[in-house]
Copies of this chain bind each other. A is one copy, B any other.
């Protein structure tokens, strides 16, 4: 009977309209009713990706989209660069190494933002033809300047993992000339996990090598999608949910979503600071996806999260890698409003107090509302 609250940066809360669409009786994926849904979903994905290019859709987690990029863009032994400043950047490294690529690792401390100038210089020096990076590094709350990165790497193909950022913070695929943008359904797109997406800029198609993956073969996927079909049985229920979710986003407008995420980030930061916590994620408007705080001295991060969850039904996200136990993360992506921030802050404040930490009571939530109140131009 206990009520549960999900404040993690993926999976994220799913609107009831989307859940209801997923519960509709099954239809055949080649029937005219599903085709119409599929066509609308593909069209709306283009809008959210801010591209006129094809957005390929796969039944897979977001990592499947990352896999598809390495498998379709690279040949064994090819020199590539990976920009990493966290767990998801490190996933790029592992993936590229497993594909036998010659990986130039451009590593930053977890929590740092990659410098476009440094990355540009390193890529020019190595001659890497493909550069993999992470837009929103969910493990640290840092959003990278991918527009700057594209300018810096010039003609190299830039592949952006936008899994937790797409639909939350601006990413102008065509206007910024980003070659490949990858995303997943379970973040700002407000759907359950299970759909992966890849936008592929038009000029790339002519020079793609043969795909090293059968399942994630971009050419096969594109050919099928041209007929509003899928190469292999698509995840019908999830796509119906996606179509509804993208409709909700379109209704309010993508710019409104960007603004809301900035304001949610402001509210989260203001509240955490007001109760006396230190931020791990950047204290500026770039940090609009997930807000990360250091766990106060004397408190174990694992215990805090278990307490939040087991005592109060509130799920936040832990630190990953070497940050495990040292930080906690509040996701505010997708179907998220300021009262969710209020609930998350209130739960953190209560739990820390219960665990004996010295936090300021009663100020976080009002400060969060104040910070949320100022409109911003994105």
Instruction: Find out whether the CB atom of A215 lies under 8 angstroms from the CB atom of B216.
Output: yes
The stretch from A7-15, A78-86, A169-177, A295-303 touching chain B is: A7-15
Instruction: Find out whether the CB atom of A233 lies under 8 angstroms from the CB atom of B11.
Output: yes
| A211 CB, nearest partner CB in chain B, Å | 7
| A29 CB, nearest partner CB in chain B, Å | 7
Q: Which of A195-244 contact B (CB under 8 A)?
A: 210-217, 231-238
Chain B CB within 8 A of A321 CB: no
Instruction: Find out whether the CB atom of A63 lies under 8 angstroms from the CB atom of B192.
Output: no
Chain B CB within 8 A of A276 CB: no
Contact pick for A22, options B4, B94, B237, CB 8 Å: B237
Chain B CB within 8 A of A251 CB: no
Chain B CB within 8 A of A26 CB: yes
In the complex, which of the residues A12, A63, A317 has the most CB atoms of chain B within 10 Å of its own CB atom? Answer: A63
Instruction: Find out whether the CB atom of B236 lies under 8 angstroms from the CB atom of A192.
Output: yes
Chain B CB within 8 A of A20 CB: yes
- Residues of chain B lying within 8 A (CB to CB) of residue A309: 31-32
Considering the complex, give the chain B residue whose CB is closest to the CB of A215: B67
Chain B CB within 8 A of A178 CB: no
Interface 1/0s, chain A 54-66, versus B by CB < 8 A? 0000111111101
The number of chain A residues touching the other chain, given as a range, is: 35 or more
Chain A residues close to B by CB (< 8 Å): 4, 6, 8, 10-14, 19-20, 22-29, 31-33, 58-64, 66-67, 70-71, 94-95, 98-99, 184, 186, 192-194, 210-217, 231-238, 309-310, 315, 317
- Residues of chain B lying within 8 A (CB to CB) of residue A317: 28
Instruction: Find out whether the CB atom of B25 lies under 8 angstroms from the CB atom of A63.
Output: no
| A217 CB, nearest partner CB in chain B, Å | 7
- Given known pairs A193-B233, A211-B98, A217-B98, the reply for A22 and B23 (CB within 8 Å) is yes
| A261 CB, nearest partner CB in chain B, Å | 18
Instruction: Find out whether the CB atom of B6 lies under 8 angstroms from the CB atom of A193.
Output: no
Instruction: Find out whether the CB atom of B99 lies under 8 angstroms from the CB atom of A214.
Output: yes
A224 to B52 Cα, complex, angstroms:
38
- Residues of chain B lying within 8 A (CB to CB) of residue A236: 11, 186, 192-194
Listed by A's residue number, 6 A-B pairs whose Cβ atoms lie within 8 Å are A4-B33, A11-B28, A22-B192, A66-B215, A192-B237, A194-B236
